[in-house]
Amino acid sequence: MSGTGDGGWRTIFEPFRIKSVEPLHFTTVAEREAALERTGYNVFGLAAREVLIDLLTDSGTGAMSAEQWAAIMRGDESYAGAESWERFTAAVTNLTGLAHVIPVHQGRAAERILFAETVKLGDVVPNNTHFDTTRANIEYDRGEALDLPCEAAGDTQAEAPFKGNIDVERLEALLAERALDVPMVFLTVTNNTIGGQPVSMANVREVRALCDRYEIPLFIDAARFAENCWFVIQREEGYADRTPTEVAKELFSYADGVTMSAKKDGLANIGGFLALRDDDLAARCRALLILTEGFPTYGGLAGRDLEAIAQGLEEVLDPEYLRYRVRTAEYLAQRCWDAGVETVRPPGGHAVYLDAGSMVPHLHRDRFPAHAVVVELYRVGGIRAVEVGSVMFGPAATHELVRLALPRRVYTQSHIDYVAEVVAAVRARREQVPGYRITWEPPYLRHFTARFEPIAG
Ligand X SMILES: Cc1ncc(COP(=O)(O)O)c(C=O)c1O
* Active centre residues (catalytic): 79, 131-132, 221, 223, 264, 447
Pairing of strands 124-127, 435-440: unpaired
CB 156 within 8 A of CB 137: no
Residue 133 binds ligand X, judged by CB under 6 A: yes
Residue 228 binds ligand X, judged by CB under 6 A: no
* Residue 259 to residue 179: CA distance in whole angstroms: 22
Residue 59 binds ligand X, judged by CB under 6 A: yes
* Residue 332 to residue 380: CA distance in whole angstroms: 18
- The amino acid that residue 421 corresponds to is E
DSSP class of residue 302? Answer: -
* Residue 403 to residue 335: CA distance in whole angstroms: 15
Of all residues in this chain, which one has the CB nearest to ligand X in the complex? 107
**Residue 34 DSSP SS3:** helix
- The amino acid that residue 86 corresponds to is E
DSSP 230-266: HHHHHHSTT-TTS-HHHHHHHHHHT-SEEEEETTSTT
Of 12-20, 130-138, 231-239, 294-302, which part binds ligand X (CB under 6 A)?
A: 130-138
**CB of 133 vs ligand X, minimal distance in Å:** 5
* Contact residue for ligand X among 263, 304, 345, 447 (CB under 6 A): 263
Residue 261 binds ligand X, judged by CB under 6 A: yes
Q: Which stretches within 293-393 are classed as H helix?
A: 303-315, 319-338, 356-359, 369-381, 390-393
Residue 192 binds ligand X, judged by CB under 6 A: yes
**CB of 304 vs ligand X, minimal distance in Å:** 18
Site size toward ligand X (CB under 6 A) is 14
Interaction with ligand X in 60-119: which residues (CB under 6 A)? Answer: 106-108
* Contact residue for ligand X among 221, 236, 315, 355 (CB under 6 A): 221
Which CB, 223 or 233, lies closer to ligand X?
Answer: 223
CB 223 within 8 A of CB 104: no
Residue 255 binds ligand X, judged by CB under 6 A: no
* Residue 288 to residue 132: CA distance in whole angstroms: 22
Q: Which stretches within 317-368 are classed as H helix?
A: 319-338, 356-359
* Residue 281 to residue 64: CA distance in whole angstroms: 33
Question: Terminal CA-to-CA distance of the chain, rounded, Å?
Answer: 41
**CB of 96 vs ligand X, minimal distance in Å:** 16
- Name residues whose C-beta falls within 8 Å of residue 175's C-beta, 6 or more positions apart in sequence: 182, 210, 213, 214, 216
* String of contacts with ligand X for each residue 11-50, x by CB under 6 A: ----------------------------------------
* Residue 439 to residue 434: CA distance in whole angstroms: 15
Which CB, 272 or 296, lies closer to ligand X?
Answer: 272
* Contact residue for ligand X among 42, 96, 188, 358 (CB under 6 A): 188
Q: Does the N-terminal peptide bond of residue 93 adopt cis geometry, omega within 30 degrees of 0?
A: no
* String of contacts with ligand X for each residue 281-320, x by CB under 6 A: ----------------------------------------
* Contact residue for ligand X among 62, 272, 381, 407 (CB under 6 A): 272
**CB of 219 vs ligand X, minimal distance in Å:** 11
CB 270 within 8 A of CB 298: no
Residue 164 binds ligand X, judged by CB under 6 A: no
* Size (the chain), residues: 457
Which CB, 192 or 390, lies closer to ligand X?
Answer: 192
Q: Which stretches within 74-154 are classed as H helix?
A: 83-96, 107-118, 132-140
Residue 128 binds ligand X, judged by CB under 6 A: no
**CB of 327 vs ligand X, minimal distance in Å:** 21
**CB of 188 vs ligand X, minimal distance in Å:** 5
**CB of 404 vs ligand X, minimal distance in Å:** 15
Residue 225 binds ligand X, judged by CB under 6 A: no
**Site of interaction with ligand X (CB under 6 A):** 59, 106-108, 131, 133-134, 188, 192, 221, 223, 261, 263, 272
